[in-house]
Chain A
Amino acid sequence: MFPASFGYVAARSVEEALQLMAKHGEDGKLLAGGHSLIPAMKLRLQSPHTLIDLGTVPGLRGVKVDGNQLIIGALTVHADVAASDLVRKHVPGLADAASLIGDVQVRNRGTIGGSVAHADPAADLPVILTALNASFIAQSPSGTRTVAVDDFFTDFYTTAMNANEILTEIRVPIPASGTGTAYAKLPHPASGYVVVSAAALITQQASGTCTAARVAIGGLGSGPIRAMPTEMELQGKPLTPQLIATAAAKAADETDPVEDSYSSTEYKQHVATVYARKAIETAVERARN
């Protein structure tokens, strides 16, 4: 449980971190909160030669509003996301998800950018950020680009980011009025990681008709999965309990989760329908208030 010996450099700016990445190449690894990377190093699953610490870069931490978007710095820790008044007001589903990550110690150190860039298939934030239609700002020596969440998580522990890019911001559209967001999770009893989770963003008119729905499921694949059949079922219809139940029952359609030592394929698919219903119900309730 001791990591291989490694070097450490504290970056003072994103530009300096990019230069250090270019210098160290494959031997370098970016360090954010260290709550995935350090355990992996202790298990010798990762043995980077040099850690490039982003924790010393000013300006990457905090939540603010820019126009109709929430801008969350990549180094913002989960506890700050969960406690942020802006997050709780505009996208309470994200506060839910951040507050359900790991334990106090993890939430006080682990960062939103680190979690997203690590792209663990059992992580919480990719699921809610998919429902919220977030986007990600990646900075490289040649400039910055924006990647939409639906294009971001490409495989197990793999994102659309290039090796010469640093994730600097997570942008979350502030939902239209009449919108509710929610996250529901079945955690593994030992690790706290996601067995199955569901996130929902629901917009409804005063009449109760659903005008927009994004529903994402975690734990069923290599990353978050949009529950398209559920979304299509909800779209344009009055949000009655029967409709929500019918739509949620389709949450695991078109998925093929791999059985593991804790849960079977059938169990995961069934639980996904239950948690999808919980998330949609809470989102609808919040949309009405």
Chain B
Amino acid sequence: MKTIEGLANGDVFHPVQEGFREKHGLQCGYCTPGMIMTATYLLETNPNPSDEEIKHALEGNICRCTGYVNIVESIKWAAEKMGGKDVSR
């Protein structure tokens, strides 16, 4: 089982983590591990998701500060960065 602790490769963030930083996908960070792990799972199974598919995948993860727009943007940024490739170790 992989958790947020095991996602980065040493000091190098996973593209989904980078995306959340680049696109301001978090504020308080409480929901972020769940959002990032769910998004990583999504991109492993569907490398080029539509906005609708991202929103469907995130259902059940509740954010109360950032809002979902930037989170969807973060995941799209990561999908582009990953270029359809699986970058998991």
Mark each residue of chain A from 97 to 114: 1 if its CB lies under 8 Å from any CB of chain B, else 0.
001001111100000000
For window 7-49 of chain B, which residues contact chain A by CB distance below 8 Å? 38, 41-42
Residue in chain A with minimal CB distance to B62: A190
Bound-complex Cα distance A192 to B60 (A): 9
Bound-complex Cα distance A104 to B38 (A): 8
Write out the residue numbers on chain B whose beta carbons fall within 8 Å of the beta carbon of A104. Answer: 38, 41-42, 57, 59-60
Q: Report the minimum CB–CB distance from B26 to chain A (whole Å).
A: 19
Residue in chain A with minimal CB distance to B38: A104
| Tally of contacts, chain A with chain B, CB under 8 A | 15
From DSSP, what is the main secondary structure of chain A's interface residues? helix
Write out the residue numbers on chain B whose beta carbons fall within 8 Å of the beta carbon of A192. Answer: 59-60
Whether B61 is near chain A, meaning CB under 8 Å from some CB there, is: yes
Bound-complex Cα distance A106 to B61 (A): 12
Bound-complex Cα distance A105 to B58 (A): 10
Number of B residues near A (Cβ < 8 Å) is: 8
Write out the residue numbers on chain B whose beta carbons fall within 8 Å of the beta carbon of A106. Answer: 60
Bound-complex Cα distance A192 to B62 (A): 13
For window 74-105 of chain A, which residues contact chain B by CB distance below 8 Å? 99, 102-105
Bound-complex Cα distance A192 to B58 (A): 13
Mark each residue of chain B from 55 to 89: 1 if its CB lies under 8 Å from any CB of chain A, else 0.
01101110000000000000000000000000000
Q: Report the minimum CB–CB distance from A1 to chain B (whole Å).
A: 18
Write out the residue numbers on chain A whose beta carbons fall within 8 Å of the beta carbon of B61. Answer: 103
Mark each residue of chain A from 102 to 129: 1 if its CB lies under 8 Å from any CB of chain B, else 0.
1111100000000000000000000000
Q: Report the minimum CB–CB distance from B49 to chain A (whole Å).
A: 12
Bound-complex Cα distance A123 to B41 (A): 26
For window 135-165 of chain A, which residues contact chain B by CB distance below 8 Å? none
Write out the residue numbers on chain A whose beta carbons fall within 8 Å of the beta carbon of B41. Answer: 104
Bound-complex Cα distance A104 to B61 (A): 9
Q: Report the minimum CB–CB distance from B41 to chain A (whole Å).
A: 7
Q: Report the minimum CB–CB distance from B61 to chain A (whole Å).
A: 7
Bound-complex Cα distance A115 to B38 (A): 23
Residue in chain B with minimal CB distance to A83: B45
Residue in chain A with minimal CB distance to B41: A104
Write out the residue numbers on chain A whose beta carbons fall within 8 Å of the beta carbon of B60. Answer: 102-106, 192
Bound-complex Cα distance A192 to B56 (A): 12
Q: Report the minimum CB–CB distance from A81 to chain B (whole Å).
A: 15
Of A104, A106, A192, chain B has the most CB atoms within 10 Å of the CB of A104
Write out the residue numbers on chain A whose beta carbons fall within 8 Å of the beta carbon of B57. Answer: 104
Bound-complex Cα distance A103 to B57 (A): 7
Bound-complex Cα distance A103 to B41 (A): 13
Q: Report the minimum CB–CB distance from B4 to chain A (whole Å).
A: 15
Bound-complex Cα distance A36 to B15 (A): 35
A-B contact pairs, 15 of them (CB 8 A): A99-B56, A102-B60, A103-B59, A103-B60, A103-B61, A104-B38, A104-B41, A104-B42, A104-B57, A104-B59, A104-B60, A105-B60, A106-B60, A192-B59, A192-B60
B-to-A contact residues, CB < 8 Å: 38, 41-42, 56-57, 59-61
A-to-B contact residues, CB < 8 Å: 99, 102-106, 192
Beyond contacts A99-B56, A103-B60, A105-B60: 12 other A-B pairs, Cβ-Cβ < 8 A, are: A102-B60, A103-B59, A103-B61, A104-B38, A104-B41, A104-B42, A104-B57, A104-B59, A104-B60, A106-B60, A192-B59, A192-B60
